[in-house]
Structure 1
Amino acid sequence: MRHARRGPRSRGFVAGIVIGALLLVSGGGVAAYFGIRMSLDGNMERIDAFADVDPSTRPSAPPVEGPTAPVNILVLGSDSRISAGDPSGWEAGAQRTDAIMLVHLAADRQTAAVISIPRDSWVPIPGYGEAKVNAAFSWGGPGLMIQTVENLTGVRIDHFAVTDFESFETLTDSLDGVEITVPDGNDGSVQQVMTGEEALVFARERYALANGDFGRVQRQQAWMRAILAKVSEDRTDLLKMSRFLEAVTRAVSVDEDFTFDTMQDLALSARDISGDDITFMTAPYSGTGRSADGQSIVVLDRATFDPLMEAVAKDDVPSFVEANPDAMDVLPTVVQ
């Protein structure tokens, strides 16, 4: 049984952590950095991510019943972020996607969820048939990846972001390291302070893990959770936060409509979200297998995956997770 566990309590906006903690840590922080927002906005590479997405194939946007709407952000960790906006110049297989995450911010701005889709998940890719989900980014760039995820999940993507995990080294070091809870070897746990280099090694390991790539997904999430906690802890250190935000905005590429002002507005609207209100999880899967052509693949558990995605589309994730605790692979406090 996989029990739902939550991260340490800390103020902030989860989407910012997943795309490199791009958002500011509190309403007061937003005001403090207001004067340099144009500089920070200019640091980010822009992608016309939705240009090649056929509008007729897209899921409908949910109706807005309150002052705000739910927001869904597709976040990728790639081995090559630069020039992400020029998929026409790519060759198949030239860029890999090691992390694929769907970030959902609830309309009431009280909860958020980060759902990792294993990169080897065997899914339909428009125009290509069935393949590993990460092939979509390699073959067709942001547009094909967005279309693939929308077709798979039935969830409309509002924004897109891509970063590379090497950039997380710089982010971590700008915070003077982060604390990640790991086993102590005696059936207990210990807080281990990691530098950026150490955290990158931690997040990229999979061969030594009993659960392989699934364990690596959890390690990536644990690293992000640790950054969130450290940003919250140090949010009043303006010098450190300035250094951190400079590193963040240089580490990420985003869609053209995801401006710094848009992020600032989201941060303000979600300023009451705490670490206890954020759920990191892996998309439900039934195990691994082999494709017809012999590739090692992840088989999604569609009997659970589809209702979970329906809950995302309906902005009802907390209720679904609470009702299905045994079926949810939620990030634990201690990561192996």
Structure 2
Amino acid sequence: MSDPTPDPDRSVAPGRRRRMRSRRVLLIAMSLIGLLVVGVGVGAGVITSRLNGNIERIGDPFEALPNRPAVPTSAPDAIADSPGKPLNILVVGSDSRVSAGDPSQWAKGGQRTDAIMILHLPADRKSAYLMSIPRDSWVDIPGHGTAKVNAAFSYGGPALLIQTIEQLTQVRIDHLAISDFESFTSMTDALGGVQITVPVDTYRDGKLVAAAGTQLLDGAQALTYVRERYTLARGDFDRVQRQQNWMRAIFTRAASKGTLTSPTTLLPFLDTVTKSVAVDDGFTLGTMRSLAVSMRGVRAKDVTFFTVPVAGTGRSPDGRQSIVNLNRKAFDELMVAVANDKVAAYLADHSDDVDTLKAAVS
């Protein structure tokens, strides 16, 4: 099913049109994972105040963390969040963002994270890398022994999850952004749906939700597509790629509808986005704006989605849980590359070790 929405850039010269679209795609991508889209120039103070008021803040989850990885020394004089300093943002898709600012309200076993990703922005700001860590990865959680990585959020909220990821990767996390897939549903509906190629008929409770083929899906349909797991050939690995694919579809849809060039569509979309994400206190609107400006030269082709190296699935030591075993040798090599801001070189030499998002998704 094709989308008949006219292209608002059709009157622009083809070369310039491609550059404009690519720029907008990147800005939308950043908005979903860090609200960087606020930096496109919504200048009115009342609007900025409104959007800022929409954002849920989670305090400073970094304040009391012990034994953190060192700050990269490649550019010791660089200003934080500016070109010259690589940046790593932990992006979390949780069951719910309710009470994200009060970890004491978590109960053990509740509010586990459906998606855990690290967004790496190189110091030169010429590319971006979004890497998924499977939620069932078997890791050490400080103070709780070994468990699935998504349990860290349940046990101790944002601070413990950051501590777990930093201990696992030896990569310093600079900011945190938390959303949920219900919020992605709202974003999808705010765009009038997103175009996704569904490989097979998708059902929920015995009812057809989306037929096979390229479809314009509303938020509820896209959520069902993403939450499918047990009929997928590779189980949760394919589910992770569907999550990435949904994000990519939102980026593409936003660009094709000219969302960032029309105030009548931009403001409602930004309103939806800012109500959908919780961030650490240090991730201010000013920081987001500066970061967006520093990445204005990046094109859509420069954004890479992939899953970290894994060695397959297995069982927990007690045999009760299905888990994902990380390929620690390849994983550690990747994280050394992240810490040293050499992800591009790593991917060029180890393309077979990671599961890169391709045009077609199972």
- Whether the TM-score (by the shorter chain) exceeds 0.5 is yes
User: Aligned residue for 1:215?
Assistant: 238
Write the deviation string for residues 158-195 of structure 1: whole angstroms up to 9, x where unpaired: 0011111101111011111112234489xxx9542211
Cα pair 2:29 2:251 within 8 Å, conserved? no
From 251, 254, 273, give the equivalent of 2:276.
Answer: 251
Which one has more relative contact order, counting CA pairs under 8 Å at least 6 apart?
A: 1
From 285, 297, 303, give the equivalent of 2:329.
Answer: 303
SS in 1 for 2:221: helix
SS in 2 for 1:24: helix
User: Aligned residue for 1:105?
Assistant: 121
Cα drift, residue 250 of structure 1: 0.5
Q: State how far apart, in whole Å, the 2-side matches of 1:86 and 1:184 are.
A: 41
Cα pair 2:31 2:37 within 8 Å, conserved? no
Q: Normalising by the residue count of structure 1, what TM-score does the alignment of the two structures yield?
A: 0.90
User: Aligned residue for 1:96?
Assistant: 112
User: Aligned residue for 2:180?
Assistant: 164
Cα pair 1:15 1:103 within 8 Å, conserved? no
SS in 2 for 1:333: coil
SS in 2 for 1:94: coil
**What residue ranges of structure 1 are gaps of 5+ in the alignment?**
1-8
Cα pair 1:13 1:273 within 8 Å, conserved? no
Cα drift, residue 68 of structure 1: 2.8
Q: State how far apart, in whole Å, the 2-side matches of 1:125 and 1:15 are.
A: 30
**What residue ranges of structure 2 are gaps of 5+ in the alignment?**
1-20, 202-211
Distance 1:86 1:77, change over 3 A: same
Q: State how far apart, in whole Å, the 1-side matches of 2:286 and 2:213 are.
A: 39
Cα pair 2:87 2:121 within 8 Å, conserved? yes
Cα pair 1:14 1:278 within 8 Å, conserved? no
2:251 maps to 1:240: no
Q: Which has the greater radius of gyration? A: 2
Q: How does 1:136-151 map to 2 (within 5 A)?
A: 136-151=152-167
SS in 1 for 2:41: helix
User: Aligned residue for 2:48?
Assistant: 37
Q: How does 1:113-192 map to 2 (within 5 A)?
A: 113-183=129-199, 191-192=214-215
Q: State how far apart, in whole Å, the 2-side matches of 1:200 and 1:259 are.
A: 29
- Which letter maps to 1:298? V
Distance 1:207 1:73, change over 3 A: same
2:215 maps to 1:204: no
Write the deviation string for residues 213-250 of structure 1: whole angstroms up to 9, x where unpaired: 11110000001011112223322122111111100100
SS in 1 for 2:266: helix
Q: State how far apart, in whole Å, the 1-side matches of 2:54 and 2:134 are.
A: 30
2:260 maps to 1:260: no
Cα pair 1:23 1:267 within 8 Å, conserved? yes
Q: Normalising by the residue count of structure 2, what TM-score does the alignment of the two structures yield?
A: 0.84
